[in-house]
Chains A and B, each alone.
Chain A
Amino acid sequence: MAVAVQLKGQRRVGMTGDEAVAYAVKQADVDVIAAYPITPQTIIVERLADYVHDGELNASYVPVESEHSALSACVGASLAGARVFTATSSQGLALMWEIMWIASAMRTTIVMALANRALSAPINIHCSHDDAYAVRDAGWIQFFAENVQEAYDLALMAFRVSEDKRVLFPSIVNLDGFILSHGLEPLNVLEDDTVRSFLPPKVPVNPVDPEKPMTYGPLALFDYYFEFKKAQAEAFKSVYPVILEVFREYEKISGRKYEPIKTYGLEDADVAVLILGSSAGTARYAARRLRSKGEKVGVVSLTLYRPFPVQELLAKLKGLKAIVAMDRSYSFGSPGAQLFMDVAAAFANESEKPLMINAIYGLGGRDLLPEHVEEAFMRAKEAAKSGKVEEREVWLGVR
């Protein structure tokens, strides 16, 4: 039975993913936005520029000369105590890369929307997850939205998570370029007051203060760098429980339940696909079709990518005979693409593990069709049946 969610005080609106993120950021009442336009993220910062210009958002909007400067400005603003937002895609994130690590190590609370786009060459403006994967090691929390509603919700939750004193790490909200960034969908938005009580003004830790000068990000060589990294690594381990807490609190105000991992059909599945982002819906559609024919297939999609929910994933995948990690990217010369490697590493010390296949799909915005997911399921089924994987790496739908 479908339970009608209590939508007291929520409005049903139609927005693209970019617009929904910009709306969430406006409601989050950010203090500083520094960004440089790049497709398919541009509409986010255009809308925010409108909000600031029209007096709907009292924020400092810094139109910088590059993404490197954008993130640098964000680092300074965040350390000064501001609630900070930026958005980028692909090459733009690549230009931010140097500062990505600094933003995390200096414990800023920047929230970034990343409209996922393939990295050049060839030049492409459509969706791959190359950009998100390329900063997976930098110490940022990463969420993946499956639809426009999730992009909106996760943007709000990201501020709350990042600014929590037990966290103090920056966050990325991934939304698939064009598919979500430009796709118009209905969603429910919260009232401004509700958001304000969920996200009270940021209380900074060690803010930059001219009256009390401090050194931020000083030199630490072989005598201290190692200890700083260990401290950062340990601190990052405290992020996960806070995310669960924020998910639960957000459910209370929105009626929308969030979990690090979403599953479909796992209660009796023999095989499953694992996937990130907007394609999860396609995967579930394909699974539903197969399940109606009696096939025991399931779908696992990750809302939380960093920190990678290892224990929860192992618990959910327990008993599966074969799985297909679906990557919208490729890692040249690696033992597998990025999600495959994460999942394989999660299973490293398990005595019982499923056979694993790595499916590459959708690069540069190529549609993932239900038939492609069905092929992935069939390959997993064959592996489960024969007890071995014939082809570990498959490219779904490539000519």
Chain B
Amino acid sequence: MSKLLTWRDLSAPVIAEAGNSVQYKTGSWRALKPIIDQSKCIKCLLCWFYCPEPAIIRHEDDRVEIDYDYCKGCGICANECPVKAIKMVEEEVG
């Protein structure tokens, strides 16, 4: 985590550097974590289409992975998966 700025470092709420929201990791918001069972996955890519973040990483061979840095655990992927290959499990506390 970068050093937090004080109020003296801030002026109007303007971020002069474009595209830096990537630094804001939203994965810590997650209460439920999606786990993909690769043995069940049929590479239909519905999870990749539906993910609102998008936090599904699609590989060359259409294998999919969850980007846990940004996945907020909404569960849409698990809900949409036609073969129930994605399970939502409790995040470990601490």
Chains A and B are bound partners? yes
Contact A231 B15 (CB under 8 A): no
B1-53 residues with Cβ-Cβ distance < 8 A to A are 4-18, 20-21, 24
Contact A228 B16 (CB under 8 A): no
Interface class of chain A by DSSP? loop
User: Which residues from B are CB-within-8-Å of A168?
Assistant: 12
Known: A168-B12, A206-B14, A226-B7. 4 other contacts (CB 8 A): A213-B18, A218-B15, A220-B13, A231-B10
Interface class of chain B by DSSP? loop
The 8 Å CB contact of B12, one of A106, A223, A230, is: A106
Contact B16 A214 (CB under 8 A): yes
Q: How far is the CA of A36 from the CA of B25 in the complex (A)?
A: 41
Contact A227 B16 (CB under 8 A): no
Closest to A220 in B: B13
Contact A206 B5 (CB under 8 A): no
Q: How far is the CA of A227 from the CA of B11 in the complex (A)?
A: 10
Contact B15 A214 (CB under 8 A): yes
In the A-B complex, the 10 residue pairs with the smallest Cβ-Cβ separation, listed nearest first, are A230-B7, A215-B15, A107-B12, A227-B7, A231-B10, A213-B18, A231-B7, A214-B16, A217-B13, A206-B14
User: Which residues from B are CB-within-8-Å of A383?
Assistant: none
User: Which residues from A are CB-within-8-Å of B18?
Assistant: 213-215
The 8 Å CB contact of A223, one of B4, B8, B21, is: B4
Interface size class of B (residues with CB under 8 A): 10 to 19
Contact B11 A107 (CB under 8 A): yes
Contact A227 B15 (CB under 8 A): no
Q: How far is the CA of A216 from the CA of B13 in the complex (A)?
A: 6
Chain A 237-254, CB-CB to B under 8 Å as 1, else 0, gives 000000000000000000
Q: Does A235 contact B (CB under 8 A)?
A: yes
Q: How far is the CA of A219 from the CA of B14 in the complex (A)?
A: 10
* Max chain B C-beta neighbours (<10 A), residue from A105, A215, A220, A228: A215
**A110 nearest CB across to chain B (Å):** 14
